[in-house]
Amino acid sequence: MTRLALSLRGLRKAYGNVIAVDGLDLEVRVGECFGFLGPNGAGKTTTIEICEGLNDPDAGEVVVLDRTWARDAADLRMLLGISLQETQLSEKITVEETLTLFRSFYGVRGRPVEEAIASVELGEKRAARVGTLSGGQKQRLALACALVADPELFFLDEPTTGLDPQSRRQLWDLIEGFKRAGRTVILTTHYMDEAERLCDRVAIVDHGKVIALGTPRELIASLGAEHVVEFAMAESGEPRPGEEGLPDAALASLAGVHGVQRENGTVRLRTAHVHQTVPALLQLLQARRVEMSELRTHTATLEDVFVSLTGRHLRDA
């Protein structure tokens, strides 16, 4: 039996009338990189903060590295490496001073400050005050603060939110390094590309519940189609664009199509075979005298999984 790094059963948390986490069950194995993917407000941060011992659940059971917060809080704090979503480290303190402070909490356990600085590539900024660092550098410093603990389990809440593409890639390399070192990583993100690239398994979370769980590949495969064809209809077209002009049934019967979805005048077809679906679609549109204004195709992503499950996009959900 593989050891579990995290086990959640029936986790519930409400703030007044707002239910943040609504009966969440989950297991994460040691050595996995696991991602909570979901839009803002889905309950990801509440869930991860309960796992980190920073928030108390209303109901449910949390076991982290075979320990519970009620009994083994002191132990757990030693074993976890954490980066919170919004922490602002003291601006007037230098990189090295910040890490020395964090390092001091872990006693004989933990890694040398030097090593942490090197692994997040902040060697040149060692003596720079935190206030002078860029967003990406600050986020790398936040990871280094987790790194000096030499933790068995990393909890990273939105590690790359608000960063430029280059900084994001740098952080991804870092997190992949944690994985290679055999550490368990649990992260939250609302970027599907981040989840696809980093995570061995992903839980798609919406309204405080896990609505899909599996490897990114499994989740995409669950769509029954690996491609997406998106098109929009020109507004001036006759007959009027919409259900009546182009019924879902007609679209669903096109070659290769597994699913049809509409959103603001855009129609999205999930398909196994783009090369069959597109010609058939063009034919259908011509026969129905519907004018097309846009046509896009892409390989299905976790975003499409989210859209097909909720009818909304991750970003604007």
Of 107 and 165, the one with the shorter C-beta distance to another protein is 107
Contact 43, 208 (CB under 8 A): yes
CA 189/CA 191 separation, integer angstroms:
5
Question: Where does residue 122 rank: exposed (0-12), middle (13-18), buried (19+ CB within 10 A)?
Answer: buried
The binding track of 120-159 with respect to another protein, each residue x by CB under 8 A or -, is ---------x---------------x---x----------
Which amino acid, residue 94? T
End-to-end CA distance of the chain: 38
Counting contacts by CB under 8 A, is residue 107 touching another protein?
A: yes
- How many whole angstroms separate alpha carbon 258 and alpha carbon 161? 33
**Member of 2, 15, 71, 108 binding another protein (CB under 8 A):** 108
Nearer to another protein, 39 or 110 (CB): 110
Among 14, 30, 93, 213, binds another protein (CB under 8 A): 93
Selected from 40, 88, 215, 283, the binder of another protein by CB under 8 A is 88
Pair 138, 171: CB distance under 8 Å: no
Kindly state the smallest distance separating residue 91's Cβ from another protein, in Å: 9
- Cβ-contact 157, 45 below 8 angstroms: yes
Residue 52 in contact with another protein, rule: CB under 8 A? yes
* Residue 78 sits in the site that holds another protein (CB under 8 A): yes
SS3 state of residue 158:
coil
Q: Which residues bind another protein (CB under 8 A)?
A: 52-55, 74, 77-78, 80, 82, 84, 86-90, 92-93, 96-97, 100-108, 110, 112-114, 129, 145, 149
